[in-house]
Amino acid sequence: MLLVMDIGNSSIKVALYNGADMAHYWRVSTNRNYSSDEYGTILDGMFRHAGHSPSMVEGVMVSSVVPTINFTIDHMCRDYFGHEPLFVGPGIKTGINILYENPRDLGSDRICNAVAAYTHYGTPCIFIDFGTATSFGVVDAKGCFLGGCICPGMKLASEALVSGTSKLPHFELVMPDGSYTYLLPDIAYHNDKFARGFDVLIDLFGADHHGYIARLKAAAQGLGLDPAQIDIRLVQFAILYRGGERVQMSTRAGSFVTLRELREEVGTDAARYFYVMRGNDQHLDFDLDLAKSQSNDNPVYYIQYAHARICAIFRQLAEKKWSHTRSAVETARTRLVEPQEQALLMELFRFPEMVEAAAEHDAPQLIATYLREVAGEFHSYYNATAILVPEEELRNARLGLCLAVRQVLANGLALIGVSAPETM
């Protein structure tokens, strides 16, 4: 399949072609500050969300009028798609003659427009491209590109007209059906939030809306608001798998799985844990069968089972009519000398710092990962060590350790909104 990219001053149009058929189309905002990895991560996420793999790409062609990011795009294509991109420009055989005094002055976008008009509509023809600038071009009956002209685009012309006149007011561009673009209601929404006294606004955007951040913050600043008080988080796509097969979803086609449906299928605990165990900036492959399984491979089951296992130990203690007290536990804790006991204690000591780090960095996934590590340490300890031994002091010491593990698991699960069952 062929990957084509049209890099403009405002946006990058990306399309994937299978022969002459366009398999998918995306649009990404142009950001001159992005690295090749940032562009690669965005495109990789879009590919995965649409059910495509970067390995499907057999070649890359790029038209760019932003030379400053060509080097970045070149590296991104090599690193993420495994191909050196072909940049459209003078010297590329296109099937038409360019009758320009200096063909190197002609933008690659205008070359592509001329070829597209010549190929799809025949000659002679005039083509118009509405973008940051509005460009006109002429191809004669012999298939020669004669030239054209470039004018300010609609937005630039509107802004210039308003700034250069005293009585003409600024106006918002609207959609053809009369509805407003996304930006206007979003600005009103944020203005209303601040008017109601909120100090910080947190927005969750899809990874493909990264270019929207600068516009929204600039609009807020224009209203006299502090852009620093708007905290915008980019969330990568979640991909569902059932029976080893990807669940196909498309918002355009109206085919998708709602979060409510997901909770009904796998349960609230599994849904919450699986979403929390990855950072917002990481892709989530949600395996529905794994989330419903009762196995050690299912992380939420693995953690909850550790908590339930400890509760079962204390039920067995009661059945044996043995008892323990806090003072007895504290007295006996010096008996915890086994390597696995020491390792488990050290893991428990990390809990406060993990909570602090998660809060400081807004990273609940740190808690989820930590709980799985604690559960792993406990299961290993439980399988290798007898807890309810006849010797009372040693038994009390190990029961105290189990109580500490249960408390940490219960507290950690509560922080991420997952239950801590006593039986399973």
Report the alpha-carbon distance of residue 355 to residue 246 in Å, rounded.
34
Active site residue 109: yes
Q: Which of 109, 129, 208, 269 is catalytic?
A: 109
The 8 Å CB, 24+ separation contacts for 415-418 are 415/355, 415/358, 415/364, 415/367, 416/272, 416/273, 416/276, 416/364, 416/367, 416/368, 417/272, 418/269, 418/272, 418/273, 418/300, 418/303, 418/304
3-state class (DSSP) for residue 136: strand
Please report how many Cα atoms fall inside a 13 Å half-sphere around the Cα of residue 275, on the Cβ side: 16
Give the residue carrying structure tokens 């807020």: 220
Alpha-helical regions (H) of 294-391:
299-319, 326-332, 339-349, 351-360, 365-384
What's the DSSP call for residue 96? S
127: left (phi over 0), alpha (psi -120 to 50) or beta: beta
CB 40 within 8 A of CB 141: no
Residue 231 backbone dihedrals phi, psi, to 5 degrees: -105, 110
Q: Annotated catalytic sites, by residue?
A: 109
